[in-house]
Structures are given as structure tokens and as C-alpha cells.
Amino acid sequence: MRQSVLVLIFPLWLGAAVLGMRSWRRVVAAGGVLSAAVLAWLLPTIWLSGGLAAYVAASTQLYGSVVLPTSVLGGSLDVTFSQARYLAESVIVGLGPLALAFVALPAYVHRVGWGRQEWFLLAWILPPAAFYTLVHFGQAGYVLTFLPALVILLARALVEAVAAGSERLRRPNWRWALTAAALVALVLVNSGFFALARPLPREFDHRAGDPWIWRARDEIHDWIMSRTAAALREHEAVIRTYVETIRAAYDPDDTALLTELGNPRSYPWLRHAMFYLPEYPIYQVQLGDAPGYYAPQSAVTMILTPGSYIELPRRVKQLVWFVDHWDPAVPRPRGCSRSSSRTAASCTCCPLGRVAEHAGYTFVRAARN
């Protein structure tokens, strides 16, 4: 549970408390329990961060480097449209065939109306959905904060549509059976897709035709097909190959790892490199118009350091790229060699002199350790 989830589903908690308890005294008491639970993790976190000022500063820097660039307040309109597409794709994957029930919603509202139960579900859905569209949507799993409400609402609309033509199907026993059938179909289709679907091969070099078609294919790969069992096994095989290759071929005493954020042909592997290869100094450069880098080994928090000048430890003699595919728009530094691998994962190594340059960044070995 992230701290932001508490904020996003607070309207759900408040609505459930008010409608379920029907007593303001109990609601206030429950609010006290909730506040105590929050303070149980918030106060130690503030203390471990070095105090309230340090915690606020770190949170502000995290907001400025991660949230603000995707928000309508600081990002572009294209970013907002992209987040809306990612959100819609993630919802469709989560709903499976039940997503077709969206077309039955208008008829459901016309026949049944929009009562207190529907308003309750809408109040559950809207806050997180609006936040993910207008502020930040980083992972498909975020939709789980409101997906149950959509399942309930769409299942009711689907059952009502099926039962509309028959008085018999409107009886309670039949409605329960129809609801169960809809949910079983949802589980079976989603489970079957997860277990049986295979990741699509990526084509980078020969992209004839409309660019939006290739963009749609890329998004389908990243947000739908990568959420299958086969894709997860492939992902794990790639990570295993990286870790085994790097540890076998490169000494952490004289090697620094480099990951890339903004490379359209590579996953940003910083978190994985930090977890599996903590003995190596690691840097993640941000490709694009606003240069900056992460150096997790030199900072308490994951804060983007602006600028293109990166000082490496004096002992580092080579840079090893932890990327899936090299971005053709970014020339490789001279003298690079690529390790052989039986999978798509292979490492590019460049010997490091006193100074090296890559993608507008300048890497300089420190004069002293």
C-alpha cells in the first residue's frame, strides 16, 4: 500500500463508514483508529528520514522529478493523453470481456435509474481515475484501486441487459445466477489470457506505414502483452542473463553500470540493477531535452540530479550499459564491445579514460577516491 492510495480511496472509506455505521460518534472513533494507524508508519518514516524538514524536502523533490512532469500542471497535453490511453488499456485488460458491458450502461440508467448505490460506486471510481489521468499513472496495477467498483457496476448493467427481455430472468434467483455467470466468464477469460498469451516480437528497424499504428503496437506490447505469464518468464530470463553476464565478466571494483531512461528500445532497469547488483556503482541517465541522472549509491533518496556532468569514482575503468537495445539516435562511444548472449539481453562495455561522453553526458573519473 502506497501513501497515495490512502488519499485516493479515502472517499470510499468515508462513504462506507458514514453509510454503514450511521453514527457520527462511531465515524469519529473510526477516524481516530485510522489516524493512529497512519501515524504508526508516518512518524517512524519522518524520524528515519532525518526529521520533518528532510522528509518534506525529499517528498518535494520526488514530486518535482516524478509526478510534476506527468501532471497537467507541469507536463504537456500529449503526456496527459498518453496517461489516459494507458489507463483505458489497463482497465480493459483488467475487465476482460466485461468491458463490453460499457455499451449497456445507458440502457441500464434508462431502465433502472441512477440511485444511491450507483453514486456510491461513482464516488469510488472518480477520484483515482481523475488522478491517474491528470496527475500521474505509473503502473497498470494502480487501476486495482477502483477496478472492483467497475466490476460491480458493469456486472449489474450486463445482468439488467440480459434480463430486460424476460420477466422470469428478473427474479432474484435468476439474477444471482446471471451475475455469477458473468463473473465466472470474467475470471476464466482473464486467467486464460494471462496463462496462454505470448509476448509479441518487437520490430524496431523496418517500420513502414503510419506512425500511430506502430505507437499503438508499442503500447499494446508494454501495457497488455507484457502482463502475461510468458512475458514474465521472458522478463526473468533477461534479468538472469544480465546478472550472470555482468558478474562473470566485469569486476565491481573497476566497473560502473549505466541504465537509460527515455530509450525507446529499452526498459529502464535501474531498480533491478540496484536490487540484483548492489555491489556495482550504478547510474541512470535521462535521455531527452532535460538532462539529469540518478546515482542511488551516492544519495539517501532517489532524487534526479540535474545536469550532464557525472563524476565517477576514480577506480572505475569501464562503463557497462544495462539496456535491451541501443538507441540508434544516440551514437555509441568509441571502443565499445558487446558481450555475446543466447538471449536478447547482452551488455555493451566501453573502456573509460579520464573523460568519456555519451548522449550529451560527460563522464569524468574523480581526481581522488
pLDDT digits (tens, 9 = 90+) for 88-145: 888 888 887 788 888 888 888 888 889 988 998 998 999 899 999 999 988 888 899 9
β-pair partners for 350: 319
> Which triple of cell numbers denotes residue 234?
521472458
Same domain, 79 and 171: yes
Same domain, 245 and 306: yes
User: In which band, very low, low, confident or very high, does the pLDDT at 167 lie, cut at 50, 70 and 90?
Assistant: low
Same domain, 242 and 359: yes
Q: How many domains does the chain have?
A: 2
For residue 112, tell me if it sits in a domain.
yes
Same domain, 182 and 281: no
Distance, CA of 174 to CA of 73 (rounded, Å): 49
**CB of 330 closer than 8 Å to CB of 288:** no
Same domain, 242 and 121: no
Q: Which residue has the higher pLDDT, 343 or 329?
A: 329
Q: What pLDDT does 36 receive?
A: 94
pLDDT digits (tens, 9 = 90+) for 301-319: 567 788 889 988 888 888 8
Of the three residues 196, 225, 253, the one that is the final residue of a domain is 196
pLDDT digits (tens, 9 = 90+) for 196-235: 988 777 777 777 778 777 777 777 777 778 878 998 898 8
For residue 159, tell me if it sits in a domain.
yes
Long-range contacts of 335-341, Cβ-Cβ distance < 8 Å, separation of 24 or more: 339/245, 339/249, 341/241, 341/245
Same domain, 93 and 154: yes
pTM: 0.72
For residue 129, tell me if it sits in a domain.
yes
For residue 31, tell me if it sits in a domain.
no
Domain housing 99? 49-196
Same domain, 80 and 159: yes
Of the three residues 178, 196, 214, the one that is the final residue of a domain is 196
Same domain, 252 and 340: yes
For residue 134, tell me if it sits in a domain.
yes
Report the range of poorest mean pLDDT among 46-50, 181-185, 247-251.
181-185
Same domain, 159 and 53: yes
Same domain, 186 and 80: yes
Q: How confident is the model over 320-345, as a mean pLDDT?
A: 73
% of the chain residues with pLDDT over 70 = 93
